């Protein structure tokens, strides 16, 4: 599940000044750098070694390995709008800016004691990080990692005491906004960064939101609830309507098997009017009609699904699974709504990433120390890359998508 226990009892380390790493701002050519486009680059998180591999999706090669990124368990990555810089959000509160062309860290700050992902603003100027400890959101300049705003997730508990909540499900939204959820407070908050930060709060959205997604248009923000069934939906085009509950039976009420890992909501797929998403604790992918959010189908799969991801043309859904069924990936045909392929990319399959137009997919198998690249039309293996305990895979075209 996304909500990991605190792994460290570190005191929140105040913002450590941006380290004085190479600040060469990428103008003239220089040794050590490769003149090339950045549209076919990506990074693979190698969590055991605290490094990322910079990969070339045309040549199917690892180009560089960038080390010194700290604790990368559950790390995620966003990209600057130029496709050159990657922002790596570490579990330990480290935020690093990596130059993919030089293969080096340009800036790094320890911005909290425990964090869980981040986002980049629509205009590319701001990077936000969701923190567990101290609970809140911190926002930085994307060029310098200088702090811009600090938004503590304070709320009053049942006794009227002021507390800080863990923050989860942080995403960008159109209008230079960030949206996030407060696990302990049961709130969704929206911050508008067009000028001075303006925070809007939505309270009482449900018990323990643990993760969230935003749809590809940036309109619908949906938070999963750990403490009760159903999902919380905020229509960002109509914030005046507040937060509503959808799919009321979704969640632990579905449970028939022990839940090994809460599925990732980022992995939801909206394909036309259909949403495909992982059941909680059951060996099923669920299908809902996005017009009224009713459940329309259940597709039997190999294990408890974690990521349920659409090929960009929406004709296929690729699914990976929780332990102990995590050595398999399955492919669902979205029209027939049935499994059409079962592949074995290795042990502990953690993530998948499609090339932007969908002709290939990269799959990480942590315990086999490898990435396998498949042709999504033939399911043939195109390439295999060595990587140390690979987890998340992120390609630079994400820079150009809302919510990614």
Residue from 15, 69, 95, 101 binding its own copies (CB under 8 A): 101
Asked if residue 94 binds its own copies (CB under 8 A), the reply is: no
Contact by Cβ (8 Å): 285, 276: yes
Joined tokens for residue 214:
């935003």
Nearest to 403 by CA among 134, 164, 128, 44: 128
User: Of 8 and 400, which CB lies nearer to its own copies in the complex structure?
Assistant: 400
Where do the H-state alpha helices sit in 100-212?
A: none
Residue from 93, 94, 113, 124 binding its own copies (CB under 8 A): 124
Go through the chain and tell me how many residues it has.
Answer: 404
Asked if residue 401 binds its own copies (CB under 8 A), the reply is: yes
Q: Which stretch binds its own copies (CB under 8 A): 104-112, 241-249, 257-265, 308-316?
A: 308-316
Contact by Cβ (8 Å): 138, 128: yes
Q: Which stretch binds its own copies (CB under 8 A): 47-55, 88-96, 247-255, 355-363?
A: 355-363
The nearest distance, CB 124 to its own copies, in angstroms, is: 7
Contact by Cβ (8 Å): 137, 111: no
64's CB contacts (< 8 A; 6+ apart) are 53, 54, 100, 103
User: Of 152 and 358, which CB lies nearer to its own copies in the complex structure?
Assistant: 358
The nearest distance, CB 223 to its own copies, in angstroms, is: 20
The nearest distance, CB 375 to its own copies, in angstroms, is: 9
Asked if residue 219 binds its own copies (CB under 8 A), the reply is: yes
Q: Which stretch binds its own copies (CB under 8 A): 12-20, 78-86, 111-119, 178-186?
A: 78-86
Asked if residue 85 binds its own copies (CB under 8 A), the reply is: yes
Residue from 65, 81, 298, 337 binding its own copies (CB under 8 A): 81
Residue from 42, 50, 83, 224 binding its own copies (CB under 8 A): 83
How many residues line the site for its own copies (CB under 8 A)? 56
**What backbone phi and psi angles, to 5 degrees, belong to 311?**
-60, 145
User: Of 316 and 326, which CB lies nearer to its own copies in the complex structure?
Assistant: 316
Joined tokens for residue 282:
């059951």
Asked if residue 174 binds its own copies (CB under 8 A), the reply is: yes
Asked if residue 20 binds its own copies (CB under 8 A), the reply is: no
Residues 245-264 that bind its own copies (CB under 8 A): none
Distance CA 209, CA 203 (A): 12
Joined tokens for residue 361:
């997919």
Asked if residue 399 binds its own copies (CB under 8 A), the reply is: yes
The nearest distance, CB 235 to its own copies, in angstroms, is: 11
> In angstroms, what CA-CA distances link 287 with 229, 296, 300, 332?
17, 6, 11, 12
**Strand positions, DSSP E, 84-229:** 85-89, 94-99, 104-110, 114-120, 126-133, 135-141, 147-152, 154-156, 162-164, 167-173, 177-182, 187-192, 198-202, 209-214, 220-225
Residue from 6, 7, 256, 377 binding its own copies (CB under 8 A): 377
Binding mask 132-171 for its own copies (x = CB under 8 A): ----------------------------------------
Q: Which stretch binds its own copies (CB under 8 A): 9-17, 60-68, 211-219, 241-249?
A: 211-219
Residue from 14, 20, 27, 158 binding its own copies (CB under 8 A): 27
The nearest distance, CB 74 to its own copies, in angstroms, is: 25
Asked if residue 312 binds its own copies (CB under 8 A), the reply is: yes
29's CB contacts (< 8 A; 6+ apart) are 35
Distance CA 60, CA 51 (A): 19
85 alpha-carbon distance from chain centroid? 17
> In angstroms, what CA-CA distances link 250 with 232, 287, 303, 317?
11, 11, 17, 20
Name 180's bridge partners: 189
Distance CA 82, CA 39 (A): 9
Residue from 11, 195, 335, 380 binding its own copies (CB under 8 A): 335
User: Of 192 and 388, which CB lies nearer to its own copies in the complex structure?
Assistant: 192
Helices then strands, counting H and E runs in the chain, come out as: 0, 34
Residues 29-48 that bind its own copies (CB under 8 A): 29-31, 33-40
| Chain residues in the site for its own copies (CB under 8 A) | 26-31, 33-40, 57-58, 79-85, 100-101, 122-124, 174-176, 194, 217-219, 237, 272-273, 312-315, 335, 355-360, 377, 396-397, 399-402
């Amino acid at each position: 599940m996304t909500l990991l226990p605190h792994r460290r009892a570190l005191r929140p380390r105040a913002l450590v000044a941006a380290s004085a790493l190479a600040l060469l701002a990428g103008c003239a050519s220089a040794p050590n750098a490769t003149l090339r486009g950045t549209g076919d680059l990506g990074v693979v998180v190698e969590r055991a070694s605290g490094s990322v591999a910079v990969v070339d999706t045309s040549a199917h090669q690892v180009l560089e390995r960038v080390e010194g990124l700290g604790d990368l368990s559950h790390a995620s990555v966003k990209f600057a709008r130029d496709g050159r810089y990657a922002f790596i959000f570490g579990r330990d509160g480290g935020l690093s800016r990596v130059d993919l062309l030089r293969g080096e860290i340009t800036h790094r700050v320890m911005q909290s004691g425990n964090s869980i992902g981040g986002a980049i603003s629509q205009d590319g100027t701001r990077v936000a990080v969701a923190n567990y400890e101290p609970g809140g959101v911190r926002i930085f300049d994307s060029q310098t990692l200088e702090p811009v705003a600090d938004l503590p997730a304070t709320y009053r508990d049942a006794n009227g005491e002021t507390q800080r909540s863990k923050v989860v499900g942080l995403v960008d939204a159109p209008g230079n906004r960030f949206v996030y959820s407060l696990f302990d407070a049961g709130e969704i908050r929206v911050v508008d960064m067009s000028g001075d930060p303006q925070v809007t709060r939505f309270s009482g959205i449900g018990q323990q939101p643990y993760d969230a997604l935003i749809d590809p248009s940036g309109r619908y923000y949906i938070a999963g609830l750990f403490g009760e069934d159903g999902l919380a939906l905020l229509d960002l085009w109509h914030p005046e309507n507040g937060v509503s509950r959808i799919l009321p039976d979704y969640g632990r009420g579905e449970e028939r098997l022990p839940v090994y890992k809460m599925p990732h909501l980022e992995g939801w797929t909206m394909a036309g009017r259909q949403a495909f998403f992982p059941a909680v604790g059951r060996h099923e992918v669920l299908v809902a009609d996005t017009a009224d959010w009713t459940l329309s189908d259940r597709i039997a799969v190999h294990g408890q699904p974690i990521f349920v991801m659409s090929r960009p043309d929406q004709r296929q859904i690729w699914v990976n699974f929780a332990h102990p069924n995590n050595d398999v990936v399955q492919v669902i045909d979205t029209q027939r709504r049935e499994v059409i392929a079962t592949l074995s990319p290795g042990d502990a399959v953690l993530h998948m990433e499609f090339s932007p137009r969908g002709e290939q997919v990269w799959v990480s198998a942590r315990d086999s120390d490898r990435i396998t690249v498949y042709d999504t039309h033939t399911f043939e293996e195109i390439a295999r890359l060595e990587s140390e305990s690979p987890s998340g895979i992120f390609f630079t075209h994400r820079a150009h998508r809302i919510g990614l």
